[in-house]
Amino acid sequence: MIMRVWRGWTRTADAAEYAAYLLKTGYVGYTGTPGNLGVVFTRRDDEAEGRTEFLLTSTWESWDAIRAFAGDAPERAVFYPEDDRFLIDRETTVRHYTVFA
């Protein structure tokens, strides 16, 4: 099993709307891909900065399954059409981890 991890940030004022958008786009994209074993979407408000961090983790049965979701460059993050509207910062690459327990 492989875990895929990505982070992005919005203004806190946009966080609820972005969370709803992620559920309609990213969540559907992840869970609708054969070989996806699950997803966890989290958020953390940083009041001092006025921004919210989103941490998305997903688990996959194989690299082939990840490529089916992310394309031929699985280290690149997948973005959706309205992400530019919401995100004030983002990781353009993802991290992958081998799950051993």
β-bridge partners, 39:
58
pLDDT at 77: 97
Domains of the chain (ranges; CATH) run 2-98 (3.30.70.100)
> What is each CA distance from 93 to 21, 48, 76, in whole angstroms?
20, 26, 4
How far is residue 9 CA from its own chain's centroid?
Answer: 11
pLDDT one-digit tens code per residue, 53-98: 999 999 999 999 999 999 999 999 999 999 999 999 999 999 999 9
pLDDT at 28: 96
pLDDT one-digit tens code per residue, 38-63: 999 999 999 999 999 999 999 999 99
Considering the entire predicted model, what is its pTM?
Answer: 0.93
